[in-house]
Copies of this chain bind each other. A is one copy, B any other.
Amino acid sequence: MASGTDDDREIAALRAELSQTRRSTVPALEEILYTAMPVLDRGFIRVVDYMGNDGAVVQAARVSYGRGTRKVSEDRGLIHYLMRHRHSTPFEMCEIKFHVKLPIFVARQWIRHRTANVNEYSARYSILDREFYLPAPADLAAQSAANRQGRGEIVEGAEAAHVLDLLREDSLRQYAHYTEMLNEGEDGAPADPQRRGLARELARMSLTLNFYTQWYWKIDLYNLMHFLSLRADPHAQYEIRAYAEVMLDVLRRWLPVCHEAFLQHRLHAVTLSAAALAAVKEMLAGKAVTQASSGLSKREWRELCAALGLPEA
């Protein structure tokens, strides 16, 4: 796997090699190409390849709109316009490929985004490394009382120490049982010649969900932004958000104008339902509006007040 000394040398060699190309390039992204950016305790994200720059979005949009848009003021305005009106196809014209190392339970959330290309390390064919995720103490959250999908207070003190001990000891024991069942020696011969050893595809089932896996993940810009709008959101689980935040920063380097428009019109935007819009109009007309008078559910009313910076009462 890509964590050892060999791999560092391999990456350095890749980074040292420069070629000439007629394709559009993005120097700020080239700077970090192939470099492993750490995430969580042992994970990483590396950009392995990319296609296109901010100009590629504009170029594709202008094919669609043809002569008609020759007079459109400038590229930045066009990208903001396309983002605001949720155009999709021009943003599909850029593509990026990541190499990611991530815990299996994070991979299970991640893979639900189906519009990407994936090659995952196969534990049917190969043996997983002894690498598992342990949360940092500050990330040991309790179940939220208010919200089934969020985290609550931090678990601290003796309870935290106990949880971390359990996770560490269990991971180590399960890995030991995994290798014991495999019974594979260094040279391919059985470690214990008295035993056959269990097939890799079976032995893997004894590992816990915090073990690390890795994959190549390739996606177009439109679908990447969709992924980020869900996974860089405060409602996403912290562990996947940690990856999304690194990718947001990659997006900023790669396509600064798209990044800016994405923050403006997607990540930090707010959608008002028909009823919420009616409530806002009433407020602007100076009328007193309450949850009851608005017709909104309690939860939507609470979210609306939070978005508008108003007290809930």
What B residues does A25 contact at CB under 8 A? 19-21
Tell me, in angstroms, the Cα distance from A99 to B130 when the chains sit together: 34
What B residues does A307 contact at CB under 8 A? 277
Q: Is the CB of A270 within 8 A of B264?
A: no
Chain A count of residues within 8 A CB distance of the other chain: 131
A37 is an interface residue with CB less than 8 A from chain B:
no
Taking the closest CB of chain B, its distance from the CB of A268, in whole angstroms, is: 4
Taking the closest CB of chain B, its distance from the CB of A50, in whole angstroms, is: 7
Q: Is the CB of B274 within 8 A of A198?
A: no
A200 is an interface residue with CB less than 8 A from chain B:
yes
Q: Is the CB of B135 within 8 A of A202?
A: yes
A5 is an interface residue with CB less than 8 A from chain B:
no
Residue of B nearest to A57 (CB): B119
CB-CB under 8 A for A237 and B124, given A51-B51, A207-B208: yes
What B residues does A276 contact at CB under 8 A? 269
Taking the closest CB of chain B, its distance from the CB of A170, in whole angstroms, is: 6
Taking the closest CB of chain B, its distance from the CB of A247, in whole angstroms, is: 17
Q: Is the CB of B272 within 8 A of A119?
A: no
On A, residues with C-beta under 8 Å from B are 1, 14-15, 17-25, 30, 33-34, 49-52, 56, 59-61, 63-69, 77, 80-81, 84, 89-90, 92-93, 95, 97, 99, 103-105, 107-108, 111-112, 114-115, 117-122, 124-127, 133, 135, 140-144, 148-149, 151-153, 155, 159, 163, 166-167, 170, 173-174, 177, 180-182, 184, 194-202, 204-210, 214-216, 218, 220, 237, 263-265, 268-277, 280-281, 283-284, 297, 299-300, 307-310
- With A63-B215, A111-B111, A208-B209 given, can you name 9 additional A-B contacts, CB distance below 8 Å? A81-B297, A105-B204, A140-B202, A205-B208, A207-B209, A218-B220, A280-B284, A283-B284, A284-B308
